[in-house]
Amino acid sequence: MAVVVPIVVFEVFRLEVVGVRQFVSALDLRLLTFAQTWRVLGFTFLVLYHRNLLPGVFAIPAGWGDIAIGITAPIIALCWKPPYPYKSFVVWNVLGLLDLATVVTLGILASGSPVGLLAGHVTTRVMGMFPMSLIPTFFVPLFVIFHLISLNRAGKGLP
């Protein structure tokens, strides 16, 4: 819920409120793409895995996926100039969304909850504790929204 609700609320506002739609359409796609560079901090998942605080089934894909998107974000952003590389931009954004969706799913499946089918003696419990709790409750929805804005704008052929 913490991941899905902010995204749904944003999309409703984007579709229904003219001012929000105008604001979103004026955002610089290069800036939204550069913002994904923060995802290199995904190395934290790998550190927590090596300290036996996160399960590998979650931490390894989360860490390496975020690192891959974070490292490539500046390259994609710097390439976002005429002639616009729409296909590369779309593929990169789709990969970024797939990474986030995979990690959220694995995080739930590796949790200590009743749906934690992949949970072992180490769970994703630490992801519910501050400051790590900011990732699923704030940063994941924010990065998903940035990807959705970028895909929406690229799909319209807008720079």
Distances 153 to 50, 77, 86, 157 between C-alpha atoms, Å? 40, 14, 10, 7
How much is the pTM? 0.89
Residue 20 domain flag:
no
The domain total for the chain is: 1
Residue 17 domain flag:
no
Residue 147 domain flag:
yes
For residue 120, the SS3 value is coil
Rounded CA-CA distance 131/122 in Å is 19
The answer, yes or no, to whether residue 159 has pLDDT greater than 60, is no
Q: Which two tokens stand for residue 72?
A: 């490539």
Residue 133 in contact with residue 124, Cβ under 8 Å? no
For 56-74, the pLDDT digits (tens) are 999 999 999 999 999 999 9
Residue 1 domain flag:
no
Residue 63 in contact with residue 45, Cβ under 8 Å? yes
More confident residue, 97 or 112: 97
**Residues recorded for the chain:** 159
Residue 4 domain flag:
no
Percent of the chain with pLDDT over 90: 67
pLDDT for res 118:
81
Per-residue pLDDT, averaged over 29-39, amounts to 95
Range of the domain at 46: 27-155
User: Binning pLDDT at 50, 70 and 90, where does residue 123 land?
Assistant: very high
Give the rounded distance of the alpha carbon of 96 from its chain centre. 6
